[in-house]
A and B are shown apart, each in its own frame.
Chain A
Amino acid sequence: MSLSPTFSAVLGGLLIGAAAVFMLATSGRIAGISGIVGGLVAPRRDDLDWRVTFFAGLLAGGLVLRVLSPGTLPEGLSASTPVVLAAGLLVGFGTRLGNGCTSGHGVCGLGRRSRRSLAATLVFMLTAFATVFVVRHLLGGAP
């Protein structure tokens, strides 16, 4: 990408915010990825199609990125397979238990001045910072 990293970070953030505002203005819903996609795991009748198309939209966006800007999507993860599986389990379970992730609590929740989302965002940021510190600086390297 030829844009400066700072500029593209702000522009990318604005796109994410615009997508979330669009969903609020049209469907009246929170654009929280874990909540939307989590509804695919325990599906309720008449509440499935928009979750499926949201997922399809994410994949379509990924394909556009793959074509227009190779290198944007990772070719692999630095962690070992057991750690990748453990991380996935923790992210899936934790986001459902805590009712949201970086998008629902971070973008939409903070944007609605929700104190639950502020608390959740502070907590997941803190445990993520702590986890990276332990892995990189106490254990020394990729898990």
Chain B
Amino acid sequence: MSHARVAFVTGLVFALGLGLAGMTDPANVLAFLDLAGAWDPRLMLVLGAATGLYLLAAPLVLRRGRPLLAARFALPTRRDLDARLLAGAAIFGVGWGLVGLCPGPALVDLAGGAPDIFLFVAAMFAGMHLFTRFDRRFPPAP
């Protein structure tokens, strides 16, 4: 299987998981984020199950030394907590809280054809493009 096919299967299974978990519906996500309202803890279960599986399986995969289709693992190695990481996460959280959509569910939801979702995704890509320009103008300190 090629990288491109692997990526297709990953995206497909990821989308089915999000849908089954109820996370493609922003109303469910907002119900999780609304601690002071009728709190819905399901997103915690979703994240717990996904992360738990990864936590158990990733060391077994990494022990093999190299992935099946590539020469080496391409994993982040940084450990420092810099301003970009924290500011970026803070900005993302505000956007996520405003409508209940993070990138994965937003892209899956395009298949539903709702105009709001197309607007959100267009704005999301515009935001990513803005970042590219920002990054060129203010490159990160070496």
Contacts of A51 in B (CB 8 A): 7
Shortest distance between the CB of A142 and any CB in chain B (Å): 9
Task: Mark contacts of B36-78 with chain A using CB atoms, 8 A cut-off: 1 yes-contact digit, 0 otherwise.
Answer: 1100001101111111111101100110101111101111101
- Given A54-B10, A131-B97, A92 and B124 touching (CB < 8 A)? yes
- Given A73-B111, A97-B131, A28 and B70 touching (CB < 8 A)? yes
- Given A16-B18, A22-B13, A27-B3, A129 and B42 touching (CB < 8 A)? no
Shortest distance between the CB of A2 and any CB in chain B (Å): 12
Compute the total of residue contacts between A and B using a CB distance below 8 Å: 488
Contacts of A87 in B (CB 8 A): 95-96, 98-99, 101, 120, 123
Residue from A58, A69, A128, A143 within 8 A of B12 (CB atoms): A58
Distance in angstroms between the alpha carbons of A107 and B98 in the assembled complex:
22
Which of A17, A31, A34, A65 has the most chain B CB atoms inside 10 A of its CB?
A17
B34 engages A136 (CB within 8 Å): yes
Name A's B-contacting residues (CB within 8 A). 1, 3, 5-6, 8-31, 33-34, 36-38, 41-42, 49-66, 69, 72-79, 81, 83-99, 101-103, 105-108, 110-116, 119-121, 123-133, 135-137, 143
